[in-house]
Amino acid sequence: MQENMEERDFLDKRRTQIGETTTKESNIAEEKYIQVVIMCIENQKKEFLIQKRAQNKNGKWALTGGHVISGENSVHAILREVQEELGLTLEEKEIELVFSKRAYDCFVDLYYTKKEVKLEKLKLEKKEVETVKWMNLEEIKNFRKNNAFLECHYDCLQECMYFLGKIQEEEKKNV
């Protein structure tokens, strides 16, 4: 199925499917939501795997993620997105749900895994991902200051760090 034809289920504010779908190109009406998944992959060096999105996707650095397609659950969606964008196969038992929240017109599920990944072994989906690299939090902060890191993904990374006990609540507000 072509990406632009993938349907997404509409949810209500309680995250219940309402029996309607939408496509990526469609606007989301008020009081309707879609589901989004994001993955934080950390290595033993405390670096995070980030990707430079293709120019048609705004060209910013970000975490790996995407939309949940119709009939799919959040776990299967994040496993699919990681496979599609990076060519990296993860198993359900390797990932952990860090948080789930409603934001704007979507529900966001953030997942985490600690995994050693050789960048040269990845098979990037060039329509979506230009390149990937490992970066520590300070490097990512600098990208953010230069408006080169997708802001909502930076927020997710902060939530992940907080969940992992790497930053305290007051630090989260000041970063």
Enter the pTM of the model: 0.88
Q: Where are the domains of the chain?
A: 3-174
Of 80, 43, 41, 46, nearest in space to 62 by CA = 41
* pLDDT value for 50: 98
As a whole number of angstroms, the distance between CA 112 and CA 116 comes to 13
* pLDDT value for 27: 81
The angle, 0 to 180 degrees and rounded to 10, between the axes of the packed helices 151-163 and 137-145 is 150
Of 174, 153, 69, 72, nearest in space to 111 by CA = 153
Task: Answer yes or no: is pLDDT of 58 > 70.
Answer: yes
Q: In the CATH hierarchy, which fold is given to the domain comprising 3-174?
A: Nucleoside Triphosphate Pyrophosphohydrolase (3.90.79)
pLDDT tens digit string along 75-86? 999 999 999 999
When pLDDT is cut at 50, 70 and 90, the band that residue 3 belongs to is very low
